[in-house]
Structure 1
């Protein structure tokens, strides 16, 4: 392996004319960040090296200051015996207490500029520094080489085959560099039904989003009309907004107050339209209406773009609930530094009282590969700072009454391999985060009938489950203004807050009586949850 690295170094210097390999060796004053070499490093050859001019967009992620203080505050804000119980910080509080200094940020900006990066911008909370450059600039700035590759969809991609490093004087400031690989990235978690309104005679059929409050017994629980809800999305939101208007018009609902927040360069992708339709229409239907629906539109589903979108939602601190119907293998997110980056962003959100509702995935117990079967969850569902929402097959009776739920066989749920167990998670075993927390309808055959590109279509997947929970928690916030991050409360309420899911398997985990990895506590009974909080 060392010979392979040496040959790559020689080829790089000859082909790219950038810094020598000696500058990135262990004996030099450079420090490794949380961004590690991509797994393709083991099979890389000199012929795989990316051209120096290969475009690269990065997010340099700064380290939180006073991290232990942040963790202590989060714990205290959910402790009924603490004077800080139910306390939430403002966005300006979090910047003042936990963001890096302007001087620290400027030092990184100067380093990027000197290395050849351009369009350098600093996030309002100073947690991210965005920059455009190329493979040559990445080598100079982070002592890492990039190789040519392809992602799972066959698209051109690149990957770093060395750990990303920074000069020693920046090591106390820089956490990770997200964007040095584009092979591994998030994907949507929706599945189409075979046809609209399937299997009506069995009670497993499609549902208009407006019927979910009846199915999950919202009763007289307040609507979310005073709560702003966010959706992490990507690309062009023109069609999802049109479809949302068609949905509200068709169902006699008031027009939704919407806002699109473009994060970074505006994206043109429209392939995610069904996903954003599913998210938005089911949030509106299940919530009974929201004060505002904010689409945080990244320009792609790359890890760097999504990290920027998460940070924008937290920095804005307008949406009290943010839906994320996305995920990837947590091993990949851990390796490239995006897990470290996103976790501290989510932690800031928790301190502000925000809740990210995240799909657990549609690949069963193992998000990371199809075979052999394993138990590795999806990220960011496995983050200790989000609510992980698994999926069920829903059966209904007369008048959209709830008749039963079993675990949807493709629903994600399994113990994390790397994330620590949060203090509030009182179920499960071991020392790592257990996924899932709750579950909602996800089977495409019992899924949601929405409007996509102007026509009816039926979709499921945990991309349905997450917005159903997001809307449910928005209703809880409307009725209980002091509530913040949902997860600790979900573990403290009486068990009659849930429909316990007791049957079904996702390949590695099985639904059983009480909490389980596959379905968490089960689906919410909205009126009971509301009265038990």
Structure 2
């Protein structure tokens, strides 16, 4: 019997601690004791992939080419060339069988497997004790001890996610502040300020190329809670005079389209995303991936969308995120690998940069950027205050309404190094003690101030919403139009955008900062790239012309 065929025996091997899995309890959490023994637990195991370094090199090489000249992998070829080894999956199955766990499903291309079992089985398999915690925001499951595995399998496992079920992300939308006489926290459109816009008006201000509707494209929208009401969507698109896009719901890890009926809750995020993207790309399919708000759920949503062989998204829009330091390093690495996959497949990923300014809502006196916007494979979308008249952009400044009203996220990553394509952007050192270089956030920006926000319908109620949550689907729709016109996905856009003549394709935003109350004005807008609005807001028709093959002059 070969080593690969021998049965597992519990307790006969030295265990190895997996790095990057430490999750301290929430500061206000109360330990309620061990998780009920009868509860069944599912975890996502991230397996190594032998050719990931080759994949990075491929993506880097392809990103040096203009979008039309790139050779993106198709999903079948990706799974064959860069998926996890079938031998590793077999080894994982033997481990599961020996520890009383069930191998629920595998995903070769993403290199993921889902294992499930009793609390006792999971505790023994991963060397932890699962415990229940309560805190002011709700209850969650976590663990004490170090996540570990037998030495002979530890070498093939990069991460074990889902042992901890605390929410890892929050939606990045902001309701317009209520005016006198309005219900607190939810401002009706009938009383909205004249500064609010429809998505069509914002697109006109940014000169989105006309005569395009995103036909032939699929925009994946990631949601970690809430749901959409089909009647609200139908009412909204009819009010704009645009055809309703095809919207499909995709369940991930058991989560489904479940509207809460509370327009101030996660439904606000879900319907905002669909309505902004759908209004500007009604010819595209909008595939909404619902997943639990955990590190495993978020990762599974991303990998399901990126590698989806049915809907085949060319764009992924993400309006959820959290400060870099709120994630385990294992989670960050697993998510970043999924975004690398997207780049190799020609899928453009856009994410909101956050609505809590340069601290990203942290109270530790330091500066933070939001993830997944901080990933170098993601187009980070910051926020502005837009003043437009008759479809013409008159003035645009950094969105900053202070601690109560919100401000665009942005700054310098403490996790991801400065990408080569940002080396000429004059990204400043981190404002945190010790400085240091890092990936600058955001890359681009668009209208996000709730005072100049988007007129939408949420759970049957018409209102105005802002936040960088709106910017990701706004620009996702722009990418859908670009893809449609160019006849090929533009894919990983970051290196391309930084190499373009920026004054020709972006409106440079030079006024404002994203430091909220009681903070020094560390990150200030100015000429060129800045840590508030990135390269600026796009001039859509100019961007299309710049991305077209040399010599081609696509009609706007």
The TM tier, using the shorter chain, reads 0.7 to 0.9
Greater Cα shift, 437-446 or 50-59:
50-59
Which of 400, 418, 421 does residue 418 from structure 2 map onto? 421
* 1:519 pairs with one of 508, 520, 533: 533
Q: Output the CA distance in 1 between the equivalents of 2:238 and 2:129.
A: 53
Equivalent residue of 1:40, what SS?
coil
Q: Which of the numbers 309, 313, 331 marks the counterpart of 2:325?
A: 331
How many equivalent pairs are there? Answer: 500
Match of 1:243 in 2: 232
Shift of 1:462: 0.8
What CA distance in whole angstroms lies between the structure 1 residues aligned with 2:92 and 2:145?
Answer: 20
Residue 404 (str. 1) matches residue 357 (str. 2): no
Distance 1:109 1:420, change over 3 A: farther
Instruction: Report the CA distance shift for 1:468/1:126 in structure 2 as closer, same or farther (over 3 A).
Output: closer
Distance 2:69 2:88 in 1: 33
Q: 1:380 aligned to 2:372?
A: yes
SS of match in other structure, 1:457: strand
Corresponding residue of 1:191: 174
8 A contact 1:78–1:85 mirrored in 2: no
> How far is 1:38 from its partner?
1.2
8 Å CA contact retained: 1:59, 1:304: yes
Q: Secondary structure at the match of 1:38?
A: coil
Distance in 1 between the 2:498 and 2:175 partners? Answer: 32
Kindly provide the CA deviation profile for residues 96-154 of structure 1, in whole angstroms up to 9, marking residues without a partner as x. 1211112211221332343233462112535211233344223211112233223561x
Counterpart of 1:3 in structure 2 is none
Residues 133 and 425 of structure 1: CA distance in aligned 2, closer, same or farther (over 3 Å):
farther
Name the SS for the 2:527 alignment partner.
coil
For 2:225 and 2:349, locate their aligned partners in 1 and report how far apart those are by CA, in whole Å: 20
Q: Deviations over 1:82-101 (max 9, x none)?
A: 9x951100111211121111
Could you report, residue by residue, the CA deviation over 1:147-191 in whole angstroms, capped at 9, with x for unpaired residues?
3223561x1112233332222222232110111212351111111
Q: Distance in 2 between matches of 1:334 and 1:46?
A: 20
CA distance in 2, matches of 1:122, 1:87: 27
Q: Which residue of 2 aligns with 1:180?
A: 163
Q: 2:109 aligns with which of 100, 104, 125?
A: 125
Partner deviation per Cα, 1:490-521 (whole Å, 9 max, x = no partner): 11111121111111121142211110111101
Shift of 1:373: 3.2
Asked whether the 8 Å contact 1:360–1:412 carries over to 2, the reply is: yes
**Residue in structure 1 matched with residue 507 of structure 2 by the alignment:** 499
Which of 490, 498, 507 lines up with 2:497 in the alignment? 490
Distance 1:323 1:383, change over 3 A: same
1:45, distance to aligned residue in structure 2 (A): 10
Q: 1: CA distance between counterparts of 2:361 and 2:225?
A: 25
Q: Distance in 1 between matches of 2:73 and 2:369?
A: 30
- Unpaired stretches in structure 1, ≥5 consecutive residues: 1-18
Q: Structure 1 length normalisation: TM-score? A: 0.87
Distance in 2 between residues matched to 1:254 and 1:221, nearest whole Å:
14
* Structure 1 partner of 2:210: 220
Name the CA distance, whole Å, in 2 between partners of 1:43 and 1:472: 42
RMSD over aligned Cα atoms = 2.8
- Tell me how far apart the structure 2 counterparts of residues 122 and 350 of structure 1 sit (CA, whole Å): 22
Q: Of 358, 364, 377, which residue of structure 1 is paired with 2:351?
A: 358
The answer to whether residue 322 in structure 2 is matched with residue 316 in structure 1 is no
Contact preservation (8 Å) 2:28, 2:136: no
The one-character-per-residue Cα deviations of 1:231-272 (angstroms, maximum 9, x if unpaired) are 011456451x33222222222222312222111214364342
- Tell me what 1:10 maps to: none
CA distance in 2, matches of 1:80, 1:488: 9
SS in 1 for 2:455: strand
Structure 2 residues not aligned, in runs of 5+: 1-8, 178-186, 261-265, 401-406, 429-435, 516-521, 548-556
What is the aligned partner in structure 1 of residue 284 from structure 2?
291
Deviates more, 1:117-126 or 1:182-191: 117-126
CA spacing shift, 1:218–1:238, aligned 2, 3 Å: closer
Taking the aligned partners of 2:464 and 2:66, their CA distance within structure 1 comes to 47
Contact 1:498 1:525 in 2 (8 A): yes
CA distance in structure 2 between the aligned counterparts of 1:493 and 1:35, rounded to whole angstroms: 37
Contact (CA 8 Å) 2:209, 2:481: kept in 1 or not?
Answer: no
* 1:281 to partner: Cα distance: 0.8
SS at match of 2:414: strand
**Are the counterparts in 2 of residues 503 and 512 from structure 1 also a CA contact under 8 Å?**
yes
User: How do 1:32-43 residues align onto structure 2 when only pairs under 5 Å count?
Assistant: 32-40=17-25
Q: 1:40 to 1:227 in 2, by over 3 A?
A: same
1:263 and 1:329 map into 2 onto residues whose CA distance is 24
| Deviation of 1:212 (Å) | 2.1
Partner-residue secondary structure (3-state), 1:93: helix
**Distance change (3 Å), C-alpha of 1:434 and 1:101:** same
Higher helix share: 1
What is the aligned partner in structure 1 of residue 523 from structure 2? 509
> Equivalent residue of 2:285, what SS?
strand
Kept in 1, the 8 Å contact 2:32–2:132? The answer is: no
Q: Does the alignment pair 1:160 with 2:152?
A: no
Q: CA deviation at 1:64?
A: 2.2
Aligned twin of 1:262: 251
State yes or no: 1:96 paired with 2:83.
no
Q: Give, in angstroms, the shift of residue 431 of structure 1.
A: 4.1
Q: Distance in 2 between matches of 1:522 and 1:126?
A: 33
* 1:342-365 deviation line (CA, Å, top 9, x unaligned): 111111110000011100111111
